[in-house]
A and B are shown apart, each in its own frame.
Chain A
Amino acid sequence: SAVISQKPSRDICQRGTSLTIQCQVDSQVTMMFWYRQQPGQSLTLIATANQGSEATYESGFVIDKFPISRPNLTFSTLTVSNMSPEDSSIYLCSVAPGQAETQYFGPGTRLLVL
């Protein structure tokens, strides 16, 4: 497995602003992912964070709204841009160590947009 931390753990933001969420892993991992979990809902993949290249976004998610960085094999950031109340969610990063398909999740960032 892997030890994953996220910052901030929670935040309350004003609409129109942006928030950058950090994800740190205790070991080098090939695959990192960002998910959104809307209140009381399941998890939806936003994008795969690729080291050294642009992130791969899922249908319904665009780079302008959710820019992602992956500067190395242990760190990634997700920015939620120009926020609206509909962006209030839990944002989770996950990692898949090695070439295995098993994913481990961080504790999440709980975002409330007013």
Chain B
Amino acid sequence: GENVEQHPSTLSVQEGDSAVIKCTYSDSASNYFPWYKQELGKGPQLIIDIRSNVGEKKDQRIAVTLNKTAKHFSLHITETQPEDSAVYFCAASKRGSSNTGKLIFGQGTTLQVKP
């Protein structure tokens, strides 16, 4: 079945630096890749997503890149701030005629931004 690998498991950066989290997926039919941010005691919050017909998407300080050939996608956060500290999850799914919308999640990355 589909598998999503996420690295690193923990990431510590200084405020103002950039952070990059990488994911690889196994099912070449996957065509939707969301990223979620989960703060302590809260549910996951969708922060950005990308579909397989697009190579890059940006929203202010957050960007996601997708390499379909290599089956990997990455989250880039620039100018990090202490409030970016959280656990980040990547996920993958495939949308088809009989798709139920099942998301396969990576293992998560704990990002710590030091003031």
Contact = CB atoms under 8 A, between A and B. Distances in A.
Question: A and B bound?
Answer: yes
Interface of A: 1, 4, 31, 33, 41-45, 48, 56, 58, 92, 96, 101-108, 110
A96 B58 CA distance: 22
B95 A101 contact: yes
A44 B89 CA distance: 12
B101 A42 contact: no
A33 to B, nearest CB: 7
A110 B38 CA distance: 14
The interface residues of chain B, by DSSP majority, are classed as loop
Given A96-B101, A105-B36, A43 B44 contact: yes
Contact of A101 (B32, B43, B106, B107): B32
A12 to B, nearest CB: 16
Interface of A is mostly: strand
Contacts of A103: 34, 46, 101, 103
Interface residues of B, number: 22
22 contacts: A4-B43, A33-B101, A42-B106, A42-B107, A43-B44, A43-B105, A44-B105, A45-B102, A48-B100, A48-B102, A56-B100, A92-B43, A101-B95, A102-B34, A102-B49, A103-B103, A105-B36, A105-B45, A107-B42, A107-B43, A108-B42, A110-B41
Contacts of A107: 42-43
B99 interface: yes
A25 to B, nearest CB: 13
Contacts of A101: 32, 93, 95, 99, 101
A108 B43 contact: yes
B95 A43 contact: no
Contacts of B101: 31, 33, 48, 96, 101, 103
Contacts of A33: 101
B106 A104 contact: no
Interface string B82-105: 000000010001010001111101
Nearest to B4: A42
Given A42-B105, A105-B45, A107-B42, A31 B100 contact: yes
